[in-house]
């Protein structure tokens, strides 16, 4: 098996002080890339930089909250000033402000949209401008979520942002193709502090805390493993091996790698002269109604005996 090398490349990973972002930064560095570690938590970001440099890699910390054009431009400028170039932008930074629609405030909605959706836009834009000027292609690796694909209770703001990210990905893949810049969205799943609060996983919390591995059924049917399991996809997409992969939403977690479909019509019906409300009501059950789609993130039963 040929090793995937990112030697000589430079990557920015937003929100990489802990969790999935930390795993992305460390594995990009292990593959040979110099990394700009971005986070709002200076101590966490510096700890990741120290871990990378202790292992022989190159990294610097850039402390800023993503969302504004100033932060995005500053991240690209830092990569270029420190390492001379930019090859990959990973837009991982995010926050949660979960609550149901009728209780969600403007501030809760706007904060999530600003960090996830606007932050992805501004960072991708800044990277795209530099990559096009640099003229050697590049990679935009955006971070989505199963919530953006299916919806999830109490996460209307987060679902909107993550669904929007996939929509931007497909559009930008078309716009940047001639510049040999690929754009893909990863849909990661991993055991995190948030995952541990999901009731179905309560029987696993103590085992994970004790350092025991997750059961095979959880790693496969639930696509849950460590953040490091999800980082392999980021390294692949940043590499030359993924030069022809663009405009895709790709899931990874535990032992599972998956490809999400693009939205498509699943059924259609015709009515001579055009539809009216009565005709739709009369024909719905035998036309489109038979093909309505499920919604919401669903999990298979947890089988700890398997």
Cβ(31)–Cβ(52) below 8 Å = no
239 assigned to active site? no
Q: In what order do the strands lie in the sheet with 181-188?
A: 59-63, 34-39, 10-13, 88-91, 138-143, 181-188, 249-253, 256-259
Residue 145 falls in the annotated catalytic set: yes
In angstroms, the CA 236 to CA 241 distance is: 7
Q: Which residue among 24, 103, 105, 145 is the active-site one?
A: 145
Instruction: Name the percent of the chain in helix, strand, coil, to the closest 5.
Output: 50, 15, 35
- Which 3 state secondary structure label does DSSP give 209? helix
Q: How far apart are the first and last CA of the chain?
A: 31
Give the H or E element holding residue 188.
Answer: strand 181-188
Handedness of CA 63, 65, 67, 69 (dihedral sign): negative
Report the half-sphere exposure of 67 (CA within 13 A, side-chain side). 14
Strand partners, 163: none
3-state secondary structure of 235: helix
Identified catalytic residue from 5, 16, 24, 162:
162
The secondary structure element, H or E, covering residue 75 is helix 69-83
H or E, element range at 13: strand 10-13
Could you please report the per-residue DSSP string of 119-184? HHHHHHHHHHHHHHHHTS-EEEEEE--HHHHH--TT-HHHHHHHHHHHHHHHHHHHHHGGGTEEEE
To the query of whether residue 162 is one of the catalytic residues in this protein, the response is yes
- Active-site positions? 145, 158, 162
């Amino acid at each position: 098996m040929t090793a995937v090398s990112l030697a000589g490349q430079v990557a920015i990973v937003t929100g990489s002080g802990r969790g999935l972002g930390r795993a992305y930064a460390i594995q990009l560095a292990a593959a040979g890339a110099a990394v700009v570690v971005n986070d709002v938590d200076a101590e966490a970001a510096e700890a990741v930089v120290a871990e990378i440099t202790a292992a022989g890699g190159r990294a610097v910390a850039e402390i800023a909250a993503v969302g504004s054009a100033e932060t995005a431009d500053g991240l690209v400028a830092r990569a270029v000033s420190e390492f001379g170039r930019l090859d990959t932008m990973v837009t991982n930074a995010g926050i949660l402000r979960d609550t149901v629609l009728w209780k969600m405030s403007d501030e809760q909605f706007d904060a999530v949209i600003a960090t996830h959706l606007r932050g992805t836009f501004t960072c991708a834009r800044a990277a795209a401008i530099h990559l096009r000027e640099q003229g050697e292609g590049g990679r935009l690796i955006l971070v989505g979520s199963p919530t953006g694909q299916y919806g999830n209770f109490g996460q209307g703001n987060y679902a909107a942002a993550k669904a929007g990210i996939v929509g931007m990905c497909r559009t930008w893949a078309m716009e940047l193709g001639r510049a040999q810049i690929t754009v893909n969205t990863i849909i990661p799943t991993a055991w995190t502090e948030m995952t541990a609060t999901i009731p179905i996983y309560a029987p696993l919390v103590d085992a994970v805390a004790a350092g025991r591995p997750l059961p095979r059924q959880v790693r496969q049917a639930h696509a849950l493993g460590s953040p490091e399991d999800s980082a392999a996809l980021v390294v692949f997409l940043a590499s030359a091996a993924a030069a022809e992969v663009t405009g895709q939403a790709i899931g990874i977690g535990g032992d599972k790698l998956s490809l999400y479909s693009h939205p498509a019509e699943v059924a259609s019906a015709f009515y001579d002269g055009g539809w009216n409300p009565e005709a739709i009501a009369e024909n719905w059950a035998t036309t489109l109604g038979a093909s309505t789609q499920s919604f919401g993130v669903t999990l298979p039963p947890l089988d700890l005996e398997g």
